[in-house]
Amino acid sequence: MKEHNGIEGIILGCTELPTGFIKQGRTSMNIGIIGYGSMGSMLVEKLSKNKDTRLFVYNRTIEKLKSLPPEINICSSNSDLASKADIIIWRQS
C-alpha cells in the first residue's frame, strides 16, 4: 500500500467516526476531496468502500469524474464541495 505524505495511514486507517459526530447522533461523515489525480483517485477508491462515508469530489476537469459511480457526489466548484463536506482533503502542489 502506497503512502502519500502520511495521509493514507491517518485517514484510510480510521474505522470509527470521531467522538464529536457520535455525540451529535451522526451516523456518517461527509468527506470532500478536491482533485482527482493520483492521490485523489486513490482516496476516492479507498474511502468509497466505507459505508459510513458520503464522498463529494471536485476536479477542475469535470470530464475525469464522469466515470465515478453514482453514489459519489460530483461538485461543480470548490465552494459547492465546501458547503457539503465535514472534512476536506486536497494536495497542494
2 belongs to a structural domain: no
At residue 22, the pLDDT reads: 57
pTM, two decimal places: 0.74
50 belongs to a structural domain: yes
In tens, the pLDDT along 20-30 reads 665 566 677 89
Distance of CA 18 to the CA centre of its chain: 15
Domain encompassing residue 37: 7-90
79 belongs to a structural domain: yes
49 belongs to a structural domain: yes
15 belongs to a structural domain: yes
Residue 32 sits in a domain whose CATH number is 3.40.50.720
45 belongs to a structural domain: yes
1 belongs to a structural domain: no
The tally of domains found in the chain comes to 1
Could you give the CA distance from residue 90 to residue 40 in angstroms, rounded to a whole number?
Answer: 8
